[in-house]
Amino acid sequence: MSDIPLDIYSQPSDDISSNLNGSTIVEENVPLNTSIAAGLAINITPSAEFATVSVEKAVSKLNTDGTSGISSVEEVDRRRELHGTNEVNSDDDDDNNGKLGLLKRFLSGFIEDRLILLLIGSAIVSAILHNVGDAISITAAVIIVMLVGFIQEYKSEKSIEALNKLVPAMCHLVRFGRESHVLAATLVPGDIVVFRVGDRIPADLRIIDSVDLSLDESSLTGEPDPVHKSSDPVPENPTGIIPISDRHCIAFMGTLVKEGHGRGLVVATGKKTAFGSIFEMMSTVDKPKTPLQTAMDRLGKELSLFSFVVIGIICIIGIWQGRSWLDMFQISVSLAVAAIPEGLPIIVTVTLALGVLRMAKRKAIVRRLPSVETLGSVNVICTDKTGTLTANHMTVSKMWCLSSMSTKENILNVGSTTDLRNYLAYDVKRTLEIGSLCNNATFSVEHSKFLGNPTDIAILEELTKFGLIDERDNYIKMKEISFNSKRKFMAVGLKQEKHDDKETSLMCVKGAFEVILSRSTNYLTEDGKINKLTEKNRETIIECANHLASDGLRVLAFASRPCQGDDDFTKFSEDDIDDLTFTGLIGMRDPPRATVKPAIKKLLQGGVHIIMITGDSPNTAVSIAKQIGIPVVDQETSVLTGDKLKTMTNEQLANVINHVNIFARATPEDKLNIVQALKKRGDVVAMTGDGVNDAPALKLADIGISMGIIGTDVAKEASDMILTDDDFSTILTAVEEGKGIFNNIQNFLTFQLSTSIAALSMIALATAFNLPNPLNAMQILWINILMDGPPAQSLGVEPVDHEVMKKPPRSRSERILTMGVLGRILGTAFCIILGTVFICVKEMSTNGEMSARDTTMTFTCFVFFDMFNALACRHSTKSIFQIGIFSNTMFNLSVGLSLVAQLCVIYVPVLQHIFKTENLSAFDLLLLTCLGSTVFVVDELRKFIVNQYLTNYVEEENRYATMV
Ligand SMILES: Nc1ncnc2c1ncn2[C@@H]1O[C@H](COP(=O)(O)OP(=O)(O)OP(=O)(O)O)[C@@H](O)[C@H]1O
Ligand SMILES: [Ca+2]
């Protein structure tokens, strides 16, 4: 079996790269060293070459412009022609091999498979013994077996390759003097790239300018701490070799911007990057397998050993009984080929890969195959509120100012009024002014809407209702402390343009009301005076803020302060934002997504604990939670705030977390503690995140989930799954698929193992009772194709049954072969053996030996049994009539084709010759169909009984639940 890329982002997963770290740096320098030694023209990598030259030199060397980039389309095309696309794992190599490569691979399959070699050997022996018919038959059968196996493996590789293309890397490119957001693959040397915090570096860049830039290079060097980078060239080194870790003015492809921002000149793309050269090496390293694949490999080995022992015994007894040793040898080897589920790992991989592609269509991109398995076991989901549970579309709903509205009864309902010019008391006006000044949203003429933070946009959109304008044009922004989830406020320092020769400077602040209030000492009155805030005033403000929040609104407070000249701007830091004048509160509505409520209901039914983690206030969070059906039993135990969380030890947290559904006023750092506490309890945790600070928690969670739209590259890189629509309900889809895929794997396992056991036991029985062999070598090989091939594979793509969510999450340690599955396997095998032996004995009783007709009947009987068995295996508990006979087209197609092929084997003369069969009558076929269907009927009965028992059980559970 071929390697399976577990990480489908175009970057190696951490575990792989860290294994290679030691050799990484050395490897890149090896050609360098040797070429120096040889005195040849130095084959130096571009990043090493450009590390020592100045920015100006680098720009002129690459014949480009440091600000506007490459100037013509022709030039870009020429460079792409020369350097190729910016991809490390392009398909070029594959195409070069073409058809010849495929043939070579097909043929090498014969040599690698020892059992097949044995079969070919036996064909040659047959030929030498003048048994040409047998020789041809075996050779033909072997070719068919290999062909089916080969096609399957080829398709599995193709579907895995498709996974690699699910998450294309993007970047901000400057070309022809314009900035645009493009696929990273389009970059050529000489391009200019802009990057900011959270981005992934798209190629090897010579940094042109940077602000506080630090990069996480762990994927390249294994160094866990971010590395500071700048545009200063590195001094030349006497040895001529500058290690990767010392190239401080180079930003390497695949590394992540942890802080700051900057611009860089593309010096190397694709395979010529430092990352590309490691990637080449890495693709030859065996990728680790998923737990399920490892389990399947183990199971395969165990089964092989078991089969070998049984076959060995059969073989010895047979020869001892004086049967033809060549016959015995052929049958034993075919039996070994059949009984060994060599198709099992391939089917598991294809099932996982196809499942991942299906999920991608449903907006969940799984980046690592093992995560598909883990998804079915998830029993806790920690989710952000804004944007994931809610639409992330804010509108100002209510407003309140202390002086002009005094109490919560007078809160101004902004949402329902269209003209608000009459409400413009001094404090109201000031609050809105601060809102527009302390704001980073911009109006895009191109899109004819505001772009930026939804909170900021909401304020700007409200101005016209009050007849106000955006005040930012009249001021110069001197300083800014940007908003982040930890700080929970934003502040700007502004200077008004000279007005009557007087210069006014001020500081405007907006943010969470607790934060603003604690930094305020005064408030603004409705006629423009500044008064001291009394304790009573503070209580009133808190009461009103809580009132707004209980309505599900996000509450922002606004404040300002005059500044004394430039002095205040030079020391404009987080700690200096105090002594503010409070002006008012604004409440914003961010409606829950419509799909969230039903999704939460289903997840809760499935025994999944849902925890909302939000930066908003407890009241807002509780109100939203109630709207979407997250249970909040009482606010004391169900809600924990970030402050309280910080005072708790991990043990304390682990003890109470069972009852907690909401973490409010939480910071990204809190998420890490929450995941730790949950994992300590043995939970399987899914956690969402989007920012740079969320990365550690995403990594630690069993399933880290990042947001496709608002998420940063850093978060995506750390995550196991990406929601391309940022929608919480997509998580349900993914969990459903995860559970469904696991069920499908169990189902085809049931099918394969029952067939295998039945075939093995029949030959064993026949040998033990000294009867002629009921199936010959070619027939056994044919059965192997059905069992390992298309019918089994099509069980893996059975559509997900939405009722899987009614079952609790699978425990992490649960084996794939549960007692229930084993029971089904043995029961089915028993049924098949009984029926086939019956036909065999009945046919043989007419003349006492195995004629062509007898073996045809027995063989066809087994195949019919097997096809009905496949039908029964489509679902473990539901009747085929419940899931719909036509709901799995691939299944019907492959079973249909198998049956047609079986008829060909019976009626087409050439095939009759190979398989030693002869024509059967219509009555024979009817009889065999009826007999074969018994395995299906019996299983339907079993399902009926199980369901009866299950519904009773569920009702019992429900009754119990309502009693409590
Ligand atoms: N752009 C902003 N400027 C100033 N203050 C803001 C801004 N956005 C939010 N706030 C304030 O910070 C608080 C916390 O916001 P934060 O962004 O941390 O929550 P959130 O992370 O969006 O919620 P969630 O974690 O559910 O996504 C808000 O309640 C609000 O008062
Ligand atoms: Ca097999």
- We report the CATH number of the domain holding residue 584 as 3.40.1110.10
The tens digit of pLDDT for each residue in 434-455 reads 999 999 888 877 778 888 888 9
Quote the ligand 1 centre to 484 CA distance (angstroms).
Answer: 8
In short, whether 616's Cβ falls inside 6 Å of ligand 1 is: yes
Q: What is the mean pLDDT of residues 300-326?
A: 82
Is 514 exposed, middle or buried, given 0-12, 13-18 or 19+ CB atoms closer than 10 A? middle
Burial of 921 (0-12, 13-18, 19+ CB in 10 A): exposed
483 lines ligand 1 (CB under 6 A): yes
pLDDT at 26: 33
Q: Does residue 850 have a pLDDT over 80?
A: no
Q: Which residue has the higher pLDDT, 887 or 34?
A: 887
Quickly state the pLDDT bin for 567 (edges 50, 70, 90).
low
Same-domain check for residues 455 and 340: no
**pLDDT at site 788:** 73
- Ligand 1 pocket test, candidate residues 431, 440, 486, 488, most atoms within 8 A of CB: 488
- For 520-563, write each residue's pLDDT tens digit: 999 999 988 999 999 999 999 999 999 999 999 999 999 999 88
ipTM at complex level? 0.95
Ligand 2 centroid, distance to 801 Cα (angstroms): 29
Residue 568 pLDDT greater than 60, yes or no: yes
Residue 899, pLDDT score = 92
Domain boundary residue, one of 247, 282, 317: 282
Q: Is the pLDDT of residue 586 over 60?
A: yes
88 and 205 part of one domain:
yes
Is 160 part of any domain?
A: no
Q: 671 CB under 6 A from ligand 1?
A: no
For the chain, what is the mean pLDDT?
Answer: 83
State which of 678, 701, 726 marks the end of a domain: 726
Contacts of 439 (CB under 8 A, 6+ apart): 456, 459, 460, 472
Which residues share a beta bridge with 555? Answer: 587
Name the closest-CA residue to atom 31, ligand 1: 512
Structure tokens at 933: 């269907």
670 Cβ inside 6 Å of ligand 1: no
Query: Do 570 and 629 sit in the same domain of this protein?
Result: no
| 792 & 866 share domain | yes
Same structural domain for residues 470 and 605? no
Give tens-digit pLDDT for 221-264: 777 788 999 888 888 877 777 788 888 899 998 888 988 888 99
Q: Please provide the size of the chain in residues.
A: 964
**CA angle, 389 as apex, 384 and 395 as ends, to 5°?**
105
Q: Which ligand is nearest to the CA of 662?
A: 1
Let me know if residue 681 belongs to a domain. yes
pLDDT the model gives residue 4? 38
Could you give phi then psi for residue 597, rounded to 5 degrees?
-60, -50
Closest Cα to atom 16 of ligand 1 = 615
Q: Which two tokens stand for residue 512?
A: 């969470």
The pick from 483, 611, 662, 670 for probing ligand 1's pocket by mutation, whose C-beta has the most ligand atoms within 8 angstroms, reads 483
The boundaries of the domain holding residue 449 are 395-589
Burial of 217 (0-12, 13-18, 19+ CB in 10 A): buried
Q: Please name which of 196, 248, 263, 242 lies closest in space to residue 217, comparing C-alpha atoms.
A: 248
Whether 37 and 84 map to the same domain: the answer is: yes
Choose the weakest-confidence range: 136-140, 158-162, 856-860.
Answer: 158-162
Cα-trace Rg, the chain: 35
Q: Which amino acid is at 329?
A: F
- Taking only the tens place, the pLDDT of each residue in 172-210 is 999 988 888 889 889 999 999 999 888 889 999 999 988
Q: Is residue 151 part of a domain?
A: no
> Is there a single domain that holds both residue 797 and residue 888?
yes
Tokens 């499935």 belong to which residue? 606
Q: How many CB atoms lie within 10 A of CB 340?
A: 22
Among 97-106, 546-555, 685-694, 808-817, which range has the highest average pLDDT?
A: 546-555
> Among 150-164, 215-229, 683-697, 893-907, which is the least confidently predicted range?
150-164
**Whether residue 384 lies in the annotated active site:** yes
Q: How many domains does the chain have?
A: 4
The predicted-structure confidence for 716-755, as pLDDT tens digits, reads as follows 888 889 999 889 999 999 999 988 888 898 898 899 889 8
The sign of the dihedral angle between the CA atoms of 254, 255, 258, 262 is: negative
In a domain, 950, yes or no: yes
Q: Are 749 and 831 contained in the same domain?
A: yes
Q: Say yes or no: 788 and 768 in one domain.
A: yes
The first and second tokens of residue 455, run together, are: 């909170």
Q: Rounded to a whole number, what is the distance in angstroms from the first to the last CA of the chain?
A: 53
Between 621 and 779, the higher pLDDT residue = 621
915 pLDDT band, cuts 50/70/90, is confident
Q: Is the CB of 485 under 6 A from ligand 1?
A: yes
> What is the H or E stretch that residue 288 is in?
none
**Which range scores top for mean pLDDT: 112-121, 481-490, 499-508?**
481-490
**681 pLDDT band (50/70/90 cuts)?**
confident
* Nearest-10 crossing angle of helices 344-361, 132-164: 30
Contact 560, 581 (CB under 8 A): yes
Question: From the candidates 204, 327, 384, 456, which is the catalytic residue?
Answer: 384
Percent of the chain topping pLDDT 70: 88
pLDDT at 889: 92
- For 686, phi and psi rounded to 5 degrees? -105, 135
**Residue 195 phi/psi, 5° resolution?**
-135, 150
Given the CA of residue 690, which atom of ligand 1 is nearest to it?
A: 27
Which of helix, strand or coil describes residue 613? strand
Number of other residues whose CB lies within 10 A of the CB of residue 193: 26
Q: Which pair of tokens denotes residue 323?
A: 């049967």
Burial 129-146 (b: 16+ CB within 10 A, else e): eebeebbebbbbbbebbb
The pLDDT of residue 769: 81
**Distance (Å, whole) CA 372 – CA 750:** 20
Query: 665: Cβ below 6 Å to ligand 1?
Result: no
Residue 147 lies in a domain: no
Closest CA to 629 of 656, 595, 663: 595
Distance of CA 212 to the CA centre of its chain: 32
Q: Which residues pair with 443 in a beta bridge?
A: 450
**C-beta separation of 725 from 361 below 8 A:** no
pLDDT value of residue 285: 44
> What span, in angstroms and rounded, lies between the C-alpha atoms of 415 and 461?
12
Ligand nearest to the backbone CA of 753: 2
Note the pLDDT of residue 224. Answer: 77
CATH for 30: 2.70.150.10
207 and 346 share one domain: no
Give the ligand with the smallest distance to the CA of 780: 2
- What is the rounded CA–CA span in Å between residue 85 and residue 360? 25
DSSP secondary structure letter of residue 684: -
In short, whether 615's Cβ falls inside 6 Å of ligand 1 is yes
| Whether residue 895 sits in one domain with residue 749 | yes
Determine which of 38-42, 865-869, 882-886 has the lowest per-residue pLDDT on average: 38-42
